[in-house]
Amino acid sequence: MASLSKPDAPRFDVDVFQNEYLAQGAREVNAIVTVTATGGGTSGGRPLGAAAPGPGTAVVLVIDCSGSMEHPNTKMRNAREATAAAIDTLPDGVAFAVVAGTNRAEDVFPGNGTLAVLDPYTRIHAKEALHRLKPSGGTSISTWIDRARKLFDAHPGTTIRHAVLLTDGRNEHETPADLQRALDAATGAFTADCRGVGTDWEVAELRRISSALLGTVDIVAEPSGLAEDFRAMMATAIGKQVADVALRVWTPANARVKFVKQAAPAVEDLTERRTEAGPRAGDYPTGSWGDESRDYHVCVEVPAAAVGNEMLAARISLVLPGPDGTTEVLGQGLVRAVWTDDLASSTRINPQVAHYTGQAELAESIRDGLEAHRAGDLDRATARLGAAVRLAHASGNEGTLKLLRKVVDVVDAREGTVRFRKNVSEADSMTLETRSTKTVRVKK
Amino acid sequence: MPQQTECPTCAEPLGPQDAFCGACGTALTGPPTLRDLPVVPSCPNCGSTELADGWCQRCGHAQPRERDHQEHEVTGVAAVSDRGLRHHRNEDAFGVAGAECPDGAPAVIAVVCDGVSSSARPDEASATAVTAATDSLVAALKAGRDPGQAMHEAIGAANRAVTALAHDGTPAEPGRHNNAPACTYVSAISAGGLVTIGWVGDTRAYWIPDDRESAEPYRLTEDDSWAARMVAAKLMDEAEAYADPRAHAITGWLGADAEDLDPHTVSFTPHVPGVLLICTDGLWNYAEAATDLAFFVRADARTEPLAAARALVTFAVERGGHDNITVAVLPIDPQVSPADHDDTLLDVPLPRAAADTDATVPLRRAEPAAN
């Protein structure tokens, strides 16, 4: 464990869990890296007072105002109420804007291409402006993302930049390439949580956006649940204290990073997100941090060494890029490789690694199973969701197991014997798919 | 250039006309030679000079650590410890020291411990035991304690120190050995002609006389091991017991989970010159019987104990170095003429055909001290 901290920044502790012992000739090193940030967020134990979040934080809410938001009309009404709840949750000092998203993006508040700083006065005006959220038109999410990026760009002083995208439908009035272009421009500029209301949107599409923008994706099947969800998202956003933190992975010469995945609180593959960071090192984005703990699964292939050798297989650091081009190391952990002829050591399975390997498999089984179901391959769907039930049961992931039970009848959870339920609701099926990547931590 | 009066490299006195040092060959004039250049540490694996925090910044290999190879010699004893080839760290530890009895007579002590690899932090356990035992032995001998008593006290002190490691608040590492830190123990006191050995586990002591034709080398310790117990209980013969996969499982160690600690001690008075070896199984695994081990003990071991210890370690490394290797060599030179005493078992040449070449001679086994 190692941590480096300044009094005004959160403290990052890095713990590495692994079995460092490799059999002769073995090359693959797996480690779970737990990163815990404390002291910077809302509950870090420090009095908030002058250091309270606000200045430095910017929030843009993008509300889908396509025509379908009128069917049923509770969607639009609940979306307005949720936006008002978000405004009430944010403290004074936060820079803030509301955007109406259709096949174009329209500033609803403050409406002049910038962000407004919240105070008692602007707060009233913001809520008054919400009547301008009216359903009409189509859905072109790239325009929403572009608009949010431009609004944040107009406020270079903010460090925590977070958007919420609420939609109820598919991105059907533009091409996937348009969306990709907007995502490429926005990546690294701000983070975003995506919410799908109702069941007419596409999970994969929103996941693509939230992954690129390092946020969460979730379903709000019932519009009445929006206000509470928005409040929670705002509370999380204002708890963030450090943005643009990267996981830097150094590996020795001739080693290869097989993958880097966030493993908790949800599975997120970061492997393809690497940017080179000096000799034999690469940075993987982790977004912004408040008081929270996340686990990463790092898998490295190193050149084999003779029994008795010890190697540093990876040095994992949390780094924060400074405005002057330097980087600050917030915390660091070491992943080791030790070659041994003691079979008892080299065959031991690290419980953390095993657990998260299982959780990643669980998410994949659910995705596969639901995909097979959509394709009409009921046998495969049943087999894959059966495997998911077995994994969820074995790892104690009760949340996911509960969602699975709404889609399949579980005959034997331990064996993974299931039958597809008749008349599975679309909402249950989408909820399972959306939340399939949520993991639980290792039982202590 | 100012006149140099001694070699800058080896301090050999120089004459005014010398262009090179006659002792080490350093050039005294002209451009600097390789020898004069500062030595830049480099990675033994890849040669890179980018080293930080004990790791090569290029190939990632761990850099040699202090405990990987250690040597120490004081008057009357020398010891060498080496990581070997197959273990990534050295979990053996040793201590050597001179002590003074109240009457001014010198005493020499050596302690060798081997961390139990199935326990947590075995390297700390062995180092802790060595320090505690060495300190205890020096103090006890200085206080005038009888060597047998001093030995029992030292084993007790080492056991308490290793036991304390289990309760020092170091968190258990998940998913690995969490047996309490533990190590085996052997130590020797040589004082006033009397040699006293104490041990727990399978670290051993051997007596190797200079003249191996007329006096027999002996193993002085009896392992606390599964095989030794089987043989002692007459449940198996030696060949059968040592062929069993459980043979080397130890039945005695120091540490918090050591039940019924049973320290063994033995004292004897050598009457011929020779050396006392105390060592870990990293050495004796390659030459188990005393006569076999004696073959690899240099003939001049008594006068060159450090060279003898190095040679034994090299021997074990060349045989495969499967474990950490530690050996201490204590020269013994009885200040009595052979005619002045009655022969004891240790001196008498045994009829080889009849003798068990690996017999242990528990001469004057001391009574266990009350703890």
What are the DSSP calls for A38-95, one per residue?
ESSSTTSSS--GGG-S-TTEEEEEEEE-SGGGGSSTHHHHHHHHHHHHHHHHSPTT-E
* Contact of A179 with A142, CB cutoff 8 Å: yes
List chain B residues with CB under 8 Å of A310: 61-62, 88-89
What CATH number was assigned to the domain covering residues A11-39+243-346? 2.60.40.3670
Those residues whose C-beta lies under 8 Å from the C-beta of residue A352, and which sit 6 or more positions away, are: A17, A18, A32, A295, A442, B174, B175
- Assigned token pair, A238: 């204002």
How many other C-beta atoms are found inside a 10 Å radius of the C-beta of residue A159? 15
- Whole-angstrom CA distances from A229 to A73, A100, A195, B368 are 19, 19, 9, 73
List chain A residues with CB under 8 Å of B59: 252-254, 303, 311
pLDDT tens sequence across A67-122: 999 988 899 999 999 999 999 999 999 999 999 999 999 999 999 999 999 999 99
The total number of residues shown for chain A amounts to 444
How far is residue B186's CA from residue B134's CA, in Å, rounded to a whole number?
11
pLDDT tens sequence across A124-168: 999 999 998 999 889 999 999 999 999 999 998 888 999 999 999
Q: Which of B129, B150, B309, B269 is nearest to B201 (CA)?
A: B129
How many other C-beta atoms are found inside a 10 Å radius of the C-beta of residue A344? 11
* Contact of A192 with A163, CB cutoff 8 Å: yes
Percentage of residues of chain A with pLDDT beyond 70: 94
How far is residue A213's CA from residue A237's CA, in Å, rounded to a whole number?
14
Q: Residue with structure tokens 């464990």?
A: A1
Q: What pLDDT is attached to residue B366?
A: 36
Has residue B348 got a pLDDT over 60?
no
Mean pLDDT of B189-210: 95
Which of B55, B117, B175 is the closest to A350 by Cβ? B175
Has residue B201 got a pLDDT over 60?
yes
Please give, rounded to a whole number of angstroms, the shortest distance from the CA of A23 to a CA of chain B. 12
- Assigned token pair, A98: 């509301």
Residue A422 banded pLDDT, cuts 50, 70, 90: confident
Q: Does A185 touch chain B (CB under 8 A)?
A: no
The ranges assigned to domains in chain A are: 11-39+243-346, 54-239, 351-435
Q: Which of B63, B149, B67 is nearest to B115 (CA)?
A: B67
Q: What pLDDT is attached to residue B343?
A: 55
Task: Choose the CATH number for A351-435 among 3.40.50.1000, 1.20.120.1690, 3.40.50.620, 3.50.50.60.
Answer: 1.20.120.1690
List chain A residues with CB under 8 Å of B322: 341
Residue A265: cis peptide before it, omega within 30 degrees of 0: yes
- Whole-angstrom CA distances from B253 to A54, B263, B266, B367 are 61, 9, 18, 19
Q: Which of A426-435, B6-15, B52-61, B343-352 has the lowest mean pLDDT?
A: B343-352
Asked if the interface predicted TM-score (ipTM) of this complex is over 0.90, the answer is no
List phi, psi (to 5°) of B340. Answer: -80, -5
Q: What pLDDT is attached to residue B1?
A: 45
pLDDT tens sequence across B220-240: 999 999 988 899 899 998 889
Q: One-letter amino acid identity for B15?
A: G
The ranges assigned to domains in chain B are: 75-340
How far is residue A329's CA from residue A246's CA, in Å, rounded to a whole number?
10
**If you measure CA to CA, which chain A residue comes closest to B44?**
A309
Instruction: Please give the CATH architecture assigned to the domain spanning B75-340.
Output: 4-Layer Sandwich (3.60)
A360 membership: H or E segment, kind and range: helix A351-374
- Assigned token pair, A302: 């190193």
Q: One-letter amino acid identity for A51?
A: A
How far is residue A302's CA from residue B12's CA, in Å, rounded to a whole number?
49
CATH class of segment(s) A54-239:
alpha beta
